[in-house]
Amino acid sequence: MNVKRKANSNPKSQRSSLASACSKINKMRFFLQTLAAVAAAATTVLAVPMETREVQFPDPNDDPFYRTPDNIGTYTNGQIIQSRAVKTDIGFLNGAASYQLLYRTTNTSMEPEATVATVWIPAKPASPPKIFSFQVHEDSTQLDCAPSYNFLSGYGGPNEIPTSTDTPYYITWALLQGYYVVSPDHEGPNSAFVGGYQEGRATLDGVRALRNFENLPSDSAVGLYGYSGGAHASAWAASLAESYAPDINVVAAAYGGLPASLRDLITPLRTGPFSGLVIAGLSGVALAYPEVDAFLQSQFNDKGREVFKQVRSRGACLAQVAVRYAFTDFYTFFSHSSFEFFKEPLTNKVLATESLLQSQANHVVPVPKFPRYIWHAHEDEIVKFSVAEQYVKEQCAKGANINWNVYPLFGHITVQTLGPIPALYWMGQAMNGQAPQVECGKSFTPIAGVNSPTAEQVLGPDLARKFARLNGTEAPFGLRFGPMTLPAA
């Protein structure tokens, strides 16, 4: 159905040793807090009985709306196959209408496929029209973890953390600016987590689908936004925009916590508390590249085959996989102890294909011409700061326009809420063609109220007050995300 609407005596050495010790303590505390948070989330999600949900639509695995039609090859990229009105909790401040669109896109193998996007239509659209494309950090390899399903009101979906914690504030901000909003299921129907080409193309085609749905002008300004796994999709969309979607007028991209290199994501996390993300990532890459999946399956022992089956099963989303497979080394999945994942020709080739670092890639990494705002935690325990810094340096060396923001002392989840306020402020400027001129790659640390706007100035008092609760007594799972502002020096 188509719905149209719209120890040392040296004091300096002692200080250095103390700083190093404090850093290690802070990292361990972050590890424990994060695991506690996702454990609580997993427990909460799994405890929701099916009968208490306001059932509007079935699970995507059973919902005909999500199915790719047999004649998918006859559709063009971004063409809408089906659409329907849906109820979400986002947009409540200005009465935005929300819809799901099934549209054609192209996967990693350049084959046509269909995926879903959730779109919000502002009550008072900006003139001329502007589009805000928000990429959720789904970080899972199961279709019921897709954002479109977990945005639905009253469902208690298995992957609600990424869609209901801080995401509503950013999308609501965009709607209050009068922007049309699209949030694609960028991993596609096979849930190919961290498949860059898959995610980038699905994101760009989601913009096309929204344009088609609302009959928006082809030159409508588009801004891309995401954090962590959402940054991965946004960065790949930014990279592919000129070659894959030259008809889309991308004027800005803002993303933080970017995993620019899968190789450098896997190595440090392989045996630690975030090893579940590595396993989900490997499963996702294998789903993007069937030849990799077949190869890994041929090398797996029974444990490896069973774990891959579990992380692809219903309800196995970000929190559940992170908790269940913490401190699980994927090298124990292989039949032969001598197996070297990084030395295998096939996996090496795919890791090079899926890298945004020119120093690792087996292709020319594009340099977008439009301005970008990138932020990262210096003490990021999940996505190494040095990798993001290298990405920015390589891009700047080739003429990029990047506003580079670094948050010292903080980790990945803290900066998830520290970074958006100045990023959204910058996005608003860039969408109006007023992105500040900066020296590409020169490090800057935003301090709200000092050299950067406050949450109240960007979100407005009501939305800022709600956003601040992420750091107070009403924070998710009782754990603080971190300060909304950095302390003044």
Instruction: Out of 133, 183, 228, 239, pick the active-site residue.
Output: 228
- For residue 319 the two structure tokens come to 């929190």
Rounded to whole angstroms, the Cα distance separating 464 from 455 reads 5
70 is known as an active-site residue: no
- Helical packing angle, 461-468 and 167-176, nearest 10°: 170
Rounded to whole angstroms, the Cα distance separating 124 from 203 reads 24
228 is known as an active-site residue: yes
Contact 75, 171 (CB under 8 A): no
380 is known as an active-site residue: yes
Query: Residue 249: helix, strand or coil by DSSP?
Result: strand
- For residue 34 the two structure tokens come to 């994060």
Instruction: Out of 139, 144, 205, 380, pick the active-site residue.
Output: 380
- Helical packing angle, 275-288 and 290-299, nearest 10°: 120
Residues 6+ apart with CB under 8 A from 412: 30, 228, 257, 377, 380, 381, 382, 383
Rounded to whole angstroms, the Cα distance separating 388 from 357 reads 9
- For residue 21 the two structure tokens come to 């010790």
Residues 6+ apart with CB under 8 A from 17: 7, 8
Q: Which amino acid is at 205?
A: D
- For residue 8 the two structure tokens come to 């040392």
Pairing of strands 97-106, 80-85: antiparallel
List, as one string, the DSSP characters of 139-197. --SSGGGSHHHHTBTT---TTHHHHHSSHHHHHHHHHHTT-EEEEE-TTTTTT-TT-HH
Q: Which of 363, 482, 369, 388 is nearest to 441 (CA)?
A: 388
Contact 402, 435 (CB under 8 A): no
Rounded to whole angstroms, the Cα distance separating 129 from 127 reads 5
- For residue 424 the two structure tokens come to 């959204």
Rounded to whole angstroms, the Cα distance separating 146 from 388 reads 26
Which residues does the annotation mark as catalytic?
A: 228, 380, 412
